[in-house]
C-alpha cells in the first residue's frame, strides 16, 4: 500500500487479465521454453555447475554464423566500405567491392547508410533484386516496383497477412498453412486474429503436398470461415522437402480455381541438396503456365538474406515480390510500410549483395564462388549425414533432407513416457526434448511447436553444426534415444 493508496490499491494497469488476449495466444517454439532452459543451462555451466556435458549445442534454429559458418568476404568488404567510406582509399579492398560500395552510397540519402531510405527500399537495390529474379526465372520479367524490401522475410510475411485480414465470425479470413509449419505463421495468425486452416503434408511421401489434402482442408474451413490465402513453404521448413514442378503447377491450378491468394515462402531457394531435386520458383512456374494464370493469380514470393549460403540472419534483410496485386491495394501496402519508415539499410545493402554477386572476370569472383560452393557442399554433406545416422536408430525415422536447413525426424515415444509427460502437463515430444537437453546439452525443438499429425512425435534440428560436431551430436542423440526408450519401456 503506497502512501496515496492510488495505484497499489488496484494493482497494475496491465496484467495478464487485461492484456491483449491475442498476444497471449501467440506461440513461437523455435525460441520457446526449451531454448530458455538451454540459455539457463549455459549460465549454470559458466558458473561451474557439473553436467554430463560441457557445452550446449543450440540446434534449435537455423543460425549459420552462430554455428561457425564464415561470411562471404565480398559481402562483408562492401558492408565495411559502406559503413566507413574512408576505407574507399584503402588498398586493402578489391576494386569491385569499392565500386559496389560507391554505387550503393550514391543511392543513399546524403551518401550515407545512416539516412532513411524510401519505405519500399532503395531503388537501386530493388532494381538489382528484380534482375536477380529475372535471371533465376529464365528471363521472366520482374518489375522493381513490385519489390518491397523488408526487415527479414518475417516482416514481409506479416505485412502481407495484415492486408488480408477481413470480416468477423464466419466471414473472418482463413489462412491455409502446412502442418508441420514454421511457427511464424501460427504466431502471426494468432496475433492478427485470423483463422488458421491446417493442411497436412504427407510424411509417408517425403512430406509432399497433395492437392486432395488441400481440397479437404479448404472445404472443411469453408464451413466456419472465409479461407482466402494459401501459404506454401518451399523448400520446406521444418520438413526439408523440395516441391516438384508438377506439384507447383497443381497448387497454382488449385489456387486459381478456388480463388486463393498465394504466399510462397521461398527463403531456402538456394538450399537444395538431393539428387534430382531442383528449386522452381512459384513465379516462374506461374508464368510458364501461360497468361490464363499469370494474368490473374495473386502471388507474393518471399526471400531473405538469412539462409542459403550466406546465412546473414543478423542483418534482417529480405524482400517480397508482389504479382498481380490490385493497384489500390498496392498503394495501401506502400502506405502501410511507410509508417515504419524503412527496413534497416545495412540489411538492404546485404540484400543487394545477395542479388548481385561478383561476376566472372571481377576480382572477387573466384573467392566468392569458392566460398559459396564450399558452404553449399558442406550443407549437402550434413543433410545426407543427418538422414543416414538418424535412420540407423530404431525408433527414429527420418525423411531425406532434400533442402532447407533442418531434419524433422519422427520419433517413437514409449507409452510410459507419454504418460509421464501427461502427468507433467507437457507434450510428449517436449518431454523428450527436455530430457535430451538435460542429459546431453543438445537443444532441438519439439514437433508439437510446428504441428504434426495427432499421435505422431517429431523434433526439428538444424543440420548447420560443423560436420565433426554434427557427427558427435547425432551419436549422442542416438545413445540418448536408445537410453530413453529403454528407460520407459
CA-to-CA distance for 170 and 334, rounded, in angstroms?
Answer: 29
Q: Which is nearer to a copy of itself, 47 or 86 (CB)?
A: 86
Binding pattern to a copy of itself, positions 235-274, x when CB under 8 A? ---------------------xx-xxx-------------
Distances (CA, A) of 93 to 6, 79, 437: 64, 12, 44
Of these, 38, 56, 59, 67, which contacts a copy of itself (CB under 8 A)?
67
Q: Which is nearer to a copy of itself, 70 or 419 (CB)?
A: 70
Residue 266: Cβ within 10 Å count: 23
CA-to-CA distance for 219 and 232, rounded, in angstroms?
Answer: 18
Does position 332 interact with a copy of itself (CB under 8 A)? The reply is: yes
Stretch that binds a copy of itself, among 4-12, 132-140, 267-275, 423-431 (CB under 8 A): 4-12
Q: Which positions from 286 through 305 interact with a copy of itself, judged by CB under 8 A?
A: 291-293, 295-298
Q: Which positions from 204 through 233 interact with a copy of itself, judged by CB under 8 A?
A: 222, 226, 228-229
Residue 96: Cβ within 10 Å count: 19
CB 38 to a copy of itself: min, Å? 12
Q: Which is nearer to a copy of itself, 21 or 139 (CB)?
A: 21
Q: Which residues lie closer than 8 Å to 266 by C-beta, 6 or more apart?
A: 234, 279, 281, 282, 301, 302, 303
Binding pattern to a copy of itself, positions 68-87, x when CB under 8 A? xx-x----xx-xxx-xx-xx
Binding pattern to a copy of itself, positions 160-199, x when CB under 8 A? --xxxxxx--xx-----------xx--xx--x--------
Q: With CA atoms as reference, report the closest residue to 284 among 304, 301, 265.
A: 301
Q: Which is nearer to a copy of itself, 228 or 280 (CB)?
A: 228
Stretch that binds a copy of itself, among 15-23, 354-362, 382-390, 443-451 (CB under 8 A): 15-23
Question: What does the block give as the cell for 193?
Answer: 486474429
Does position 341 interact with a copy of itself (CB under 8 A)? The reply is: yes
The enclosing H or E element of 462 equals strand 457-462
CA-to-CA distance for 353 and 347, rounded, in angstroms?
Answer: 10
Q: Which residues lie closer than 8 Å to 132 by C-beta, 6 or more apart?
A: 354, 355, 356
CA-to-CA distance for 281 and 304, rounded, in angstroms?
Answer: 14
Q: Which is nearer to a copy of itself, 112 or 359 (CB)?
A: 112
Report yes or no: 294 and 282 within 8 Å, Cβ to Cβ: no
Does position 371 interact with a copy of itself (CB under 8 A)? The reply is: no
Of these, 95, 109, 141, 369, which contacts a copy of itself (CB under 8 A)?
109
Q: Which is nearer to a copy of itself, 154 or 196 (CB)?
A: 154
Q: Which is nearer to a copy of itself, 176 or 242 (CB)?
A: 176
The enclosing H or E element of 171 equals none
CA-to-CA distance for 404 and 6, rounded, in angstroms?
Answer: 55
Distances (CA, A) of 83 to 79, 80, 111, 113, 123: 6, 5, 11, 7, 19
Stretch that binds a copy of itself, among 202-210, 342-350, 425-433, 468-476 (CB under 8 A): 342-350
Q: Which is nearer to a copy of itself, 355 or 390 (CB)?
A: 355
Report yes or no: 476 and 57 within 8 Å, Cβ to Cβ: no
Does position 140 interact with a copy of itself (CB under 8 A)? The reply is: no
CB 386 to a copy of itself: min, Å? 20
Looking up cell 501461360 gives 290
Looking up cell 512459384 gives 282
Pairing of strands 457-462, 410-411: antiparallel
Stretch that binds a copy of itself, among 333-341, 353-361, 380-388, 434-442 (CB under 8 A): 333-341
Q: Which is nearer to a copy of itself, 314 or 414 (CB)?
A: 314
Amino acid at each position: 500500500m503506497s502512501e496515496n493508496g492510488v495505484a497499489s490499491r488496484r494493482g497494475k494497469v496491465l496484467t495478464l487479465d487485461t492484456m491483449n488476449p491475442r498476444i497471449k495466444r501467440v506461440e513461437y517454439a523455435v525460441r520457446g521454453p526449451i531454448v530458455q532452459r538451454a540459455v539457463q543451462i549455459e549460465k549454470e555451466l559458466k558458473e561451474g555447475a557439473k553436467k554430463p556435458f560441457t557445452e550446449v549445442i543450440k540446434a534449435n534454429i537455423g543460425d549459420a554464423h552462430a554455428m561457425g559458418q564464415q561470411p562471404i568476404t565480398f559481402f562483408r568488404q562492401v558492408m565495411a566500405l559502406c559503413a566507413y567510406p574512408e576505407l574507399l582509399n584503402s588498398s586493402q579492398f578489391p576494386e569491385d567491392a569499392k565500386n559496389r560500395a560507391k554505387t550503393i552510397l550514391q543511392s543513399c540519402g546524403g551518401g550515407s547508410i545512416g539516412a532513411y531510405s524510401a519505405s519500399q527500399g532503395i531503388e537501386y537495390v530493388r532494381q538489382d533484386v528484380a534482375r536477380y529474379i529475372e535471371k533465376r526465372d529464365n528471363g521472366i520479367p520482374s518489375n522493381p516496383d513490385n519489390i518491397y524490401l523488408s526487415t527479414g522475410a518475417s516482416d514481409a510475411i506479416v505485412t502481407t497477412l495484415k492486408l488480408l485480414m477481413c470480416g468477423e465470425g464466419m466471414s473472418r479470413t482463413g489462412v491455409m498453412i502446412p502442418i508441420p509449419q514454421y511457427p511464424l505463421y501460427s504466431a502471426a495468425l494468432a496475433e492478427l486474429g485470423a483463422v488458421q486452416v491446417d493442411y497436412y503434408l504427407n510424411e509417408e511421401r517425403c512430406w509432399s503436398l497433395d492437392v486432395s489434402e488441400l481440397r479437404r482442408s479448404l472445404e472443411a474451413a469453408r464451413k466456419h470461415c472465409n479461407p482466402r490465402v494459401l501459404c506454401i513453404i518451399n523448400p520446406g521448413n521444418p520438413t526439408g522437402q523440395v516441391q516438384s514442378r508438377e506439384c507447383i503447377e497443381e497448387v497454382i491450378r488449385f489456387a486459381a480455381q478456388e480463388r486463393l491468394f498465394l504466399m510462397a515462402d521461398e527463403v531456402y531457394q538456394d538450399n537444395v541438396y538431393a539428387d534430382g531435386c531442383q528449386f522452381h520458383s512459384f513465379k516462374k512456374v506461374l508464368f510458364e503456365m501461360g497468361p490464363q494464370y499469370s494474368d490473374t493469380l495473386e502471388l507474393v514470393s518471399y526471400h531473405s538474406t538469412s539462409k542459403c549460403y550466406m546465412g546473414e540472419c543478423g542483418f534482417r534483410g529480405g524482400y517480397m515480390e508482389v504479382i498481380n496485386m490490385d493497384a489500390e491495394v498496392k498503394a495501401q501496402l506502400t502506405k502501410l510500410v511507410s509508417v515504419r519508415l524503412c527496413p534497416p539499410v545495412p540489411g538492404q545493402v546485404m540484400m543487394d549483395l545477395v542479388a548481385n554477386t561478383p561476376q566472372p572476370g571481377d576480382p572477387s569472383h573466384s573467392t566468392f564462388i569458392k566460398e559459396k560452393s564450399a558452404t553449399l557442399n558442406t550443407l549437402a554433406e550434413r543433410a545426407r549425414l543427418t538422414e543416414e545416422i538418424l535412420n540407423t536408430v530404431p525408433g527414429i525415422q527420418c525423411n531425406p533432407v532434400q533442402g532447407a536447413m533442418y531434419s524433422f525426424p519422427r520419433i517413437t515415444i514409449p507409452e510410459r513416457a507419454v504418460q509421464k509427460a501427461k502427468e507433467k502437463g507437457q507434450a510428449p515430444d517436449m518431454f523428450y526434448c527436455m530430457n535430451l537437453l538435460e542429459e546431453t546439452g543438445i537443444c532441438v525443438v519439439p514437433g508439437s511447436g510446428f504441428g504434426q499429425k495427432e499421435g505422431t512425435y517429431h523434433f526439428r534440428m538444424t543440420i548447420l553444426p560443423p560436420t565433426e560436431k554434427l557427427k558427435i551430436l547425432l551419436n549422442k542423440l542416438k545413445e540418448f534415444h536408445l537410453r530413453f526408450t529403454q528407460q520407459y519401456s
